[in-house]
Structure 1
Amino acid sequence: MIEIAVTGVTGHLGGAVAHRLAEAGHPLRLIARTPSRAPSLPHATVAAASYGDHDAVVRALRGTEVALMVSAAESADRLDQHRAFIDAAVAAGVRHLVYISFFGAAADAEFTLARDHHATEEHLRASGLAWTALRDNLYADFLLTLAGPDGVIRGPAGDGRVSAVARVDVADCAAAVLRSPAAHRDRTYHLTGPEAVGLADVAALLTAHTGRPVSYHPESLAEAHASRAHYGAPPWQLDAWISTYTAIASGALSPVTSDVALLSGHPATPLRALLTA
């Protein structure tokens, strides 16, 4: 088995992928900014690197042929970090890069951060590396955390719907691609849940599961900006938060695909199942 490099191993997704590959017996190179936080897994070594540190990434990736690039934490310079990591992967001799992108990534995407994912994909395609893009929709796990302390989900999502995908399904898909990368060379997959739900549906599910009343308030854009002003977030971040909801309202996040089943071998996980897991 070839050694597989995995980034984001201290987070939910990268860590889950690393555990799946370790259970299958794959030798791993775990890449983390803080190596002491990396999981302890059999047949795994740990390398220290942050995306923007070209020399550290080259050292961390050298000797590996396949790597998983979990998108970096949201920041004003995230695209620069992504491009730097891809360039370092080329310099290190990586042959195939699997990138965790976003559903509907495009230069004019309603969700502003999906524009950065599009630009990252473009840089990856131009790099000369073999690539696979896994465009996951919003995480279903995230939807279940949207209610505020008062039990209200607030956002300008109107009556739109979103085919949110369970994080465990994305991990299963990524692990499957990394185990057999040649079969997924230069392919884009669109990872969704089994159905599209509205935020009122999410509120109803949470109410039924917890017994605590949860409701959905469809904000106007003015309300959305006002209700988030106290965070003091920079404009790019505020736009990202609000466009999460307007992308739902526009219908951009509602299509349902069968790519989770295609890659993982099992049906996509329903939102309701996450509440009882």
Structure 2
Amino acid sequence: MIVVAGATGALNGTTVEHLLKRVPAGQIGVSVRDIARARHFADRGVRVRQGSYEDPAALRHSFEGADQVLLVSSNDPHADAVSLHRVGIEAAVAAGVQRVLYTSHQGAGADSPFHPARDHAATERLLAGSGIAWTSLRNGFYAHSLGWLLGSWQETGVITAPADGPVSWTDRADAAEAAAVILAGDRAFDGPVTLTARQAVTFDEVAAMASQLSGHEITRIVVDDEQWIADKVAAGTPEAMARMTLTTFHAAREGRFAGVGPLLAELLGREPRSVADQLADNIAA
């Protein structure tokens, strides 16, 4: 059995949808905080059990009988993510799971300016010491984040942001589908694997793409880090959130998100969605 944790979320919920196209529903289980929100899976024959990182006993029960478990990384900026992930790993070990897969992030590293990357690196160390087989899915930076980072460029004709670096913006749905392909397939992936779009681009290049797609000139303006923080706070973003987001730019400047590879396309059997695809969707919306 394959059990997917956090299956009512956008990422792992999409993975379950793709699994249902590849394996019988009776071979799929989900571990969710609120079972009522997973009714649409239960109605299709998926085993639904309550489980969360805050309830180790329930989590172990939700993993019962699983050969593989897909853990989702915590997205709570106020939580001790590594401690939560440890609960998930220990629950999988206690349940006799043979392999744990984990939704990590490209650029995971203990010395990264981007704090979530440190949490991912620490979680990978826990997986390596768990004594069971593991796969860390280092997904490229999710492209839907561009909507917030680029600001209201369609109205202003300007992309205003701090200095950046190339990022292999990757469609979250593509990453979710790739996870399903790995879970349902016979090929073993041991340790970290990186799943990215084909191209890493800077905001200068994004502005050029946006200009071509929209038919209007889009200008890229680089602003000082502290000025960007001040502007975000003035617009209503909590300062702590703005400063955390700024570390995305710091990490990009160091090339932490610049790597690209062919594996995502190989798993999908098609080209992954690109930044241009994302921009075109935004323009059409």
Work out whether the TM-score is over 0.5. Answer: yes
1:261 aligns with 2:265: yes
- Whole-Å separation in 1 of the counterparts to 2:279 and 2:243: 29
Partner in structure 1 of residue 89 of structure 2: 86
Cα distance in 2 for residues equivalent to 1:54 and 1:28 = 20
Paired residues of 1:5 and 1:61 also in contact (CA < 8 A) = yes
What aligned pairs does 1:138-149 form with structure 2 within 5 A after superposition?
138-149=141-152
Which residue of the other structure, out of 61, 76, 84, is the alignment partner of 1:59?
Answer: 61
Residues 33-72 of structure 1 mapped to structure 2, 5 A cutoff:
33-38=33-38, 40-41=40-41, 42-72=44-74
Within the alignment, does 1:172 sit opposite 2:177 as a pair?
yes
Q: In the alignment, residue 89 of structure 2 is paired with which amino acid?
A: I
Change (3 A) 1:45 1:153: farther
Aligned to 2:206: 202
- What CA distance in whole angstroms lies between the structure 2 residues aligned with 1:198 and 1:33? 38
Q: 1:54 to 1:212 in 2, by over 3 A?
A: farther
Q: Is the 8 A contact 1:22 1:43 kept in 2?
A: no
Tell me how far 1:52 sits from its aligned partner. 2.4
On the 8 A contact 2:53/2:88 being kept in 1, the answer is yes
**Rounded Cα–Cα distance in structure 2 between residues aligned with 1:116 and 1:28:** 28
In structure 2, the CA distance between the partners of 1:110 and 1:220, relative to structure 1 (3 Å rule), is same
Map of 1:11 onto structure 2: 9
Q: CA deviation at 1:81?
A: 0.9
Q: Distance in 2 between matches of 1:132 and 1:247?
A: 24
8 Å contact kept, 1:15–1:39 = no
The answer to whether the aligner puts 1:191 opposite 2:217 as a matched pair is: no
Q: CA deviation at 1:202?
A: 2.5
Change (3 A) 1:215 1:79: farther
Matches of 1:106 and 1:32 in 2, distance apart? 28
The 3-state SS of whatever aligns with 2:40 is coil
Whether contact under 8 Å (2:150, 2:161) holds in the other structure is: no
Question: Deviation digits for residues 117-173 of structure 1, max 9, x if unmatched?
Answer: 000000011111210111012112222443334645443234x21111111221121
Secondary structure class of the residue paired with 2:48: strand
Distance 1:36 1:217, change over 3 A: farther
AA aligned opposite 2:180: A
Q: CA distance change for structure 1 residues 215 and 37 in 2, over 3 Å: closer, same or farther? A: farther
Find the counterpart in structure 1 of residue 124 from structure 2.
121
Which one of 22, 30, 41 corresponds to residue 24 of structure 1? 22
Helix, strand or coil at the partner of 1:162: coil
Structure 2 counterpart of 1:232, one-letter code: P
Q: What amino acid maps onto 1:123 in structure 2?
A: L
SS in 1 for 2:187: helix
CA-atom RMSD in angstroms: 2.3
Check conservation: 1:132, 1:185, Cα contact below 8 A.
yes
CA contact (8 A) 2:169 2:274 kept: no
Aligned residues: 271
Larger CA deviation: 171-180 vs 22-31: 22-31
User: What's the offset of the Cα at 1:223?
Assistant: 1.5
The reply to whether residue 241 of structure 1 matches residue 239 of structure 2 is no
